[in-house]
Structure 1
Amino acid sequence: MRKNPRPLNPFQMIALTFLFGLVIGTVLLSMPFSAAPGKEVTFLQALFTATSALCITGLAVLDTASTFSVWGELVIMVLIQIGGLGILTFGTAFAVFAGRRMGVQERLNLATQLGGVNAGEVKHILVQIFRFVMVIELAGTLLLYIHFLPLEGPVGGLYYAAFHAVSAFNNAGFALYPDSLMRFVDDKYVNLVISALVILGSMGFLVMASLLLHLQKPRQHRLDLNAWISIWTSVFLLLLGFFTITALEWNNPATLGKLHWSDRIMAGFFHSVAPRSIGFNTVDYGLMHHGTLLITIMLMFVGANPGSTGGGIKTTTFFVLITSVWSMLRGRGEMVAFKRRIEQDIVMRAGVVAVMSLSIIVFALFLLTITEQENMAQGKLTLLQIIFETFSAFCTVGLSMNATGQFSDAGKIILAFLMYVGRIGPLTFAIALSTRSTKGVIHYPADRNIQIG
């Protein structure tokens, strides 16, 4: 008798739905109606752009405004929106609003994608997330429309405002200007609105929901440990990025040095927000000091909060790793944060995520040094540019040293793969590839004689 096929686990569902979305996006962007008059988009260019949009990264091998038609730009915007919410979340939200009931397996899949929430609360949380996203993006569109109206006209201004609001909140970094947002480097209004959208998107839906409940009912609803860690680590990273980047670039005549002092502060703040996963820039990263680029790479690697539209290993992972090191140095037997104990399996999971992420990045760098050897020999690419673009791709940030288009076809495929793995998460990708998951039933005796350090 033929056995029924084993159902896909939630991790496999996440990986496959994103893969299916990439196929659909690539096909749509390859169509003639997606290209601007007189332009042609190759299959590889469509694949890279669709991956960058759906994985909310922002790296581009083509200028969006001049290469794609309005229809192509709308396809990119829809991919950004779907990728930001998550394909399972986006699709199920429409089904829920249409009145369809959710099955048990569907709830489990969504609970995994939303960050391990209780499966029984998925429907309520899903509706909250969808409404929160729509309200913030609508508010961002209206605020940006005030600025884009005199620049692009009534219809064009609304379109530009909506596109950049969606791109900013979802931390995608796609812009309709060839210089990203560099023309607005001295425009504090645009900088603040975009930064606010990015920060709200990178905070995480569950964190924002917990924070709003706490502000409304501080006595009845206390912030959980995940929210505390996410908020305070985000604030710390923003301040760290702001002070270091502003100080390092203050007198650089190619970046902040040519600006008024108030614009230097604004640009410094904007580029402390940018590594969270924004992809926008108001100054040229190719002209920044090496120290600034190193700080930016470190901030990109940490990324945003879990359950958000941002990438990286996540702020909670970074916090757990740093706190575990500090606890061990102090000789503490258990790890405590905000007067609450953190279980050892969470510390182990954080270590696994960090090691897997670095391993994938290092292996990709090894491959890129081979595929881009000729480009480096000809001076088209430097090792620093390759490192920067690799971290940007895997962490789904989208910042670039103006080098993405210089990569070979093989290099672009590697970057696209990094964006895909970085978006779904290295643990999700690894578990999705495994055929089965079993827990050991045999417990072996422990040995504490292994020397570390």
Structure 2
Amino acid sequence: MNYLKRKTLEFQLNPPAVLAAGFLSLIIIGTILLSLPIASKNAQSIGFLDALFTASSAVCVTGLIVVNTAEHWSLFGQIVILILIQIGGLGIMTMATSVALIMGKKIRLKERLAIKEQLNQETIGGLVKLTKYVIFITFAIEFIGALLLSVKFIPIYGRTKGIWFSIFHSISAFCNAGFDILGNSIAPFVGDIWINIILCSLIILGGLGFAVYIDVYNQKRFKKLNIHSKFVLSMTGLLLLIGTVFFFLIEYNNPFTLEKLNTVEKITSSFFQSTVTRTAGFNSVSISSIKDTSAFLMIMLMFIGGSPASTAGGIKTTTFGTLILTTFSTIKGEKDVGVFNRRIGENVINKALAIIIIGLTWIITVSFILTITEQAVFLDVLFETTSAFATVGLTRGITPSLSIVGKILITITMYIGRVGALTMAFAFGRRRKHKKYREAEGNIIVG
């Protein structure tokens, strides 16, 4: 009994394990609910595996689907999916803490440690206040987004359906989930600047990270922002620009994507696709019809993803940026890696390297297995796996036809991508105690 208590306490004081278990518990609950006949329009259970896949995709705010969300799921099923998206986007501990605060319960140390891990904070000070900010900001942005979308949706779909569509897609966009109930994602609105800009704004805001909002609100000016906020905003802007320009140039004459659109619509669609590719699985053009060059570009953008402590996935913009800066510093023979007149710590560089290596290893391994189990070309398989790991949700059309093994592997990949590869390693890997000494330095020839 003492052993059991000790192990339970160790688990409770292991924030990565608590987060991993929290997401897994929510996926299980979602699977049970989506397995019910009432969740489907045909009043028949979709089956455990497909319900598990859909619940995982919703909780992990991915957007990969085995059945069309609009055509298969009933209103009950769509509401369940939306709730899973909201909780999964905000994070298990954020939602749990908000419920505890409403009920007047005290937030204990173990909960504060888990929140600290989830929001990527350095200390546990002010976490409850930060959580309140996160909840308020999220609901405020989603409410405004729903109002703006309703301007277009209500005249088209009527008051009731238009309001429901506005709420669903506002939450799905801000949480970077990519689920839609229009039936064909945003393709019907490929040339609608209003819809495209609103959704892009929600997705970008959701992918920046809550710490950045607060810093921007407090400081107002870019020069006064902390180094993290400057880095996130700079990397986000650069990646959006690169994605937009290259997608526009590559797909300009593609008769299946941009060729039939006018110049403004081509630019709008290119910006939209650049925005959603790094984090949210909406699409305004047929992804299965894009050129292989665009598909490879998207794979790279998906792998990078959004920013830390946000609703987005991927290795994160700051991780990618840190490795790029480290590479340039090494080439120039500089001892330190700097950005915005500040030095990046060695521990940050090591963590960034670990995240990238773990992510690449998992994607390559799963893609290798899927080339054996699935009837699909390698590029489509790599695209699917990267999309799942980065919790993006874009597909080249192979998701519905995945084998049982394929669905299981993609489900696990979505889960690892949402929780975080490094967090999973910390959660279930045995940590060795720090040595009280350092070995003598040895020289290994590399390069």
TM over 0.5: yes
Specify the alignment match of 1:58 in structure 2: 63
Distance 1:38 1:107 in 2: 42
Tell me the residue number matched to 2:270: 268
1:2 offset after TM fit, Å?
3.2
Aligned to 2:157: 152
Whether 1:312 and 2:314 are equivalent positions in the alignment is: yes
- Equivalent position of 1:251 in the other structure: 253
Shift of 1:37: 2.9
**Which amino acid in structure 2 is aligned with residue 35 of structure 1?**
S
Deviation for aligned residue 1:443: 1.6
SS at match of 2:427: helix
Tell me the CA shift for residue 118 of structure 1.
2.0
Aligned residue in 1 for 2:237: 235
Match of 1:291 in 2: 293
Deviation at 1:94, TM superposition (A): 1.8
How many aligned residue pairs are there? 442
Shift in Å, 1:437: 4.5
1:132 positional shift: 0.1
User: CA offsets, 1:72-119, max 9 Å, x none?
Assistant: 000000000000000111111121133211111111111111113420
Amino acid at match of 1:225: I
Letter of the 2:346 partner, please give it. Q
- TM-align CA RMSD: 1.3
Give percent identity, aligned residues only: 38
Q: Distance in 1 between matches of 2:121 and 2:130?
A: 12
1:23 paired to 2:23: no
User: Is 1:107 the counterpart of 2:112 in the alignment?
Assistant: yes
Cα distance in 1, alignment partners of residues 76 and 432 from structure 2: 43
TM-score normalised by L of structure 2: 0.97
Structure 2: segments with no counterpart, 5+ residues? none
Q: What is the CA–CA distance in structure 2 between the aligned matches of 1:62 and 1:441, rounded to whole Å?
A: 55
Opposite residue 387 of structure 2, the aligned amino acid is: S
Q: What's the CA shift string for 1:284-303, capped at 9, x where partnerless? A: 01111111111111000000
* Counterpart Cα distance in 1 of 2:338 and 2:2: 52
Q: Does 1:207 align with 2:212?
A: yes
For each residue in 1:205-241, what CA deviation from the matched residue of structure 2 results, as whole angstroms up to 9, or x when unmatched? 11111111111xx59x931111111110000000000
List per-residue Cα deviations over 1:333-361 (Å, max 9, x = no partner): 11111000111111111000000000011
331, 335, 342: which is aligned to 2:337? Answer: 335
1:359 has 2:361 as partner:
yes
**Partner residue, 1:388:** 383
Contact 1:34 1:70 in 2 (8 A): yes
- Name the counterpart of 2:174: 169
Q: 2:148 aligns with which of 143, 146, 157?
A: 143
> Deviation at 1:38?
5.0
In structure 2, C-alpha distance between the alignment counterparts of 1:444 and 1:383, rounded to whole Å: 44
Q: Distance in 1 between matches of 2:433 and 2:89?
A: 32
For residues 33-52 of structure 1, what are the alpha-carbon distances to aligned partners after superposition, in whole Å with 9 as ceiling and x for unaligned? 11113554111110000000
1:60-79 CA-to-partner distances (Å, cap 9, x unmatched) read 00011111110000000000
SS at match of 2:338: strand
> Secondary structure at 2:224's aligned position in 1?
coil
- The one-letter code of the counterpart of 2:349 is V
In structure 1, list runs of 5 or more residues that go unmatched: 376-380
Q: TM-score of the superposition, structure 1-length normalised?
A: 0.95
Of residues 396, 419, 423 in structure 2, which corresponds to 1:401? 396
